[in-house]
Amino acid sequence: MTEIFDPEFFSSIARLTTPILLAALGGSICHRAGIFNIGLEGFILLGAFMAVLGSFYANSAFVGALTAVVGGLFLSIIFAEFHLRRKGDPIVISIAINILALGLSTYLLRSIFKVSGVFSHSEIEKIPHIQLPIIENVKILNLLINDQSILFYLSIVIVFILHYFLKYHKFGLWIRVVGENPEVLKSSGINPVRIKFLVLLLCGLLCGLAGAQLSISNVGLFVENMSAGRGWIAVVAVLLCGGRPIPLFLLIILFGLVDSLSLRIQGLGLPQQITELLPYIVCLAVLIIVSYKKLRTFSRIIY
Partner 1 sequence: MKSKEILKILRPTIEIFYAFFSIFILIFLLLYLSDANFSLAFKGFINSSIGGRNNAYLFSTFSKMALISGMAIAALVAFRGGLFNIGGEGQLVVGGFACAFTGLLVSDFGFIGILISIISGMLVGATWALLSGFLTVYMGVPLLVGSLLLNYPARFITSYLVSHPFRDVQSGLPQTFLLSKNIWLPYFPNTRLDLGILIIFFVYVICLIIFYYTKHGYHSKNMGHSLSYVKLSGLPTKKIVFKTMALSGAIAGIVGSIAVLGIHHRFTDGMLVQPLYAWTGVIAALLVNLNLWFVPLAGFFFAAIYTGAAGMERIAQVPKEIATVIQAVIILFVVGKLGSLTNLSSSKGDKDD
Contact call for residues 44 and 19 (beta carbons, < 8 A): yes
Q: Does 91 bind partner 1 (CB under 8 A)?
A: yes
95 or 219: CB nearest partner 1 = 95
Choices 10-18, 131-139, 148-156, 291-299; region in contact with partner 1 by CB under 8 A: 291-299
Q: Does 229 bind partner 1 (CB under 8 A)?
A: yes
Contact call for residues 42 and 101 (beta carbons, < 8 A): yes
Rg for the chain, CA atoms, rounded = 19
Choices 1-9, 204-212, 261-269, 279-287; region in contact with partner 1 by CB under 8 A: 279-287
Q: Which of 10, 110, 142, 190 binds partner 1 (CB under 8 A)?
A: 110
Contact call for residues 30 and 91 (beta carbons, < 8 A): no
Contact call for residues 149 and 213 (beta carbons, < 8 A): yes
Q: Which of 38, 158, 216, 263 binds partner 1 (CB under 8 A)?
A: 38
Question: Number of residues in contact with partner 1, rule: CB under 8 A?
Answer: 67
Contact call for residues 264 and 253 (beta carbons, < 8 A): no
Residue 84 DSSP one-character state: I
Q: Does 292 bind partner 1 (CB under 8 A)?
A: yes
Q: Does 300 bind partner 1 (CB under 8 A)?
A: yes
Q: How far apart are CA 220 and CA 213, in angstroms?
A: 10
The distance from CA 303 to its chain's CA centroid, rounded to whole angstroms, is: 32
Q: Does 115 bind partner 1 (CB under 8 A)?
A: no
111 or 122: CB nearest partner 1 = 111
Judged by CB under 8 A, the chain residues 246 through 275 that form the site for partner 1 are 271, 273-274
Looking at the DSSP bridge assignments, the partners of residue 119 are 222
Q: Where are the alpha helices (DSSP H) in 33-169?
A: 40-58, 61-80, 90-112, 139-145, 150-168
Q: How many CB atoms lie within 10 A of CB 136?
A: 12
Contact call for residues 195 and 178 (beta carbons, < 8 A): yes
147 or 224: CB nearest partner 1 = 224
Q: Does 113 bind partner 1 (CB under 8 A)?
A: no
Q: Which of 126, 129, 163, 186 binds partner 1 (CB under 8 A)?
A: 186
Q: Does 226 bind partner 1 (CB under 8 A)?
A: no
Choices 90-98, 120-128, 202-210, 249-257; region in contact with partner 1 by CB under 8 A: 90-98
Q: How many CB atoms lie within 10 A of CB 263?
A: 19
Q: Does 187 bind partner 1 (CB under 8 A)?
A: no
Choices 35-43, 125-133, 139-147, 157-165; region in contact with partner 1 by CB under 8 A: 35-43
112 or 246: CB nearest partner 1 = 112
**Residues in touch with partner 1 (CB under 8 A):** 33-36, 38, 78, 82, 86-93, 95-100, 102-104, 106-108, 110-112, 116, 178-183, 186, 192-193, 229, 232, 235-236, 239, 271, 273-274, 276-277, 280-281, 283-284, 287-288, 291-292, 294-296, 298-303
